[in-house]
Amino acid sequence: LELIDEGETDHKIICISLDDPDASRINSMSDLDTVKPGTTARLIDWLKRYKTSDGKPENSLAQEFPTTASEAVAIIEETHQRWRHLCALDSSHSYVSGAADFWLSSKSCRGM
């Protein structure tokens, strides 16, 4: 899901635990709603409203339908490549061109 949170796109990757008894039947958001009706609507409602208890306005969605699993994987891969690029740089704070406000302290990168 592409949430607009305080004016910025915030990708929400939805997954299901393999321990869930229905996991083998759920491979997409469409499957999720077939197997667990209403789950997507409740999730979207929560994502839109979860910051309102702090007095912030409701979030919105960039689009009214979830991206596909392959689009989600592409987002994960792109973000991972940006993280790897930032972690590979020697300066204590690095910036990726074209990724507004994508800052990271390379000293704190782990797992490479």
pLDDT average per 10 residues of sequence, the chain (112 residues)? 85 92 94 94 91 88 84 90 70 51 53 49
Q: What is the pLDDT of residue 36?
A: 96
Sequence letter at residue 12: K
Q: What is the pLDDT of residue 97?
A: 54
pTM score > 0.85 for this model?
A: no
| Distance (Å, whole) CA 85 – CA 100 | 15
Q: What is the pLDDT of residue 90?
A: 42
CB 13 within 8 A of CB 68: no
Q: What is the pLDDT of residue 112?
A: 47
- Per-position DSSP letters for 49-94, written without gaps between them: HTTGGGTPPPPEESSSSPPPHHHHHHHHHHHHHHHHHHHHS-SSEE
CB 29 within 8 A of CB 40: yes
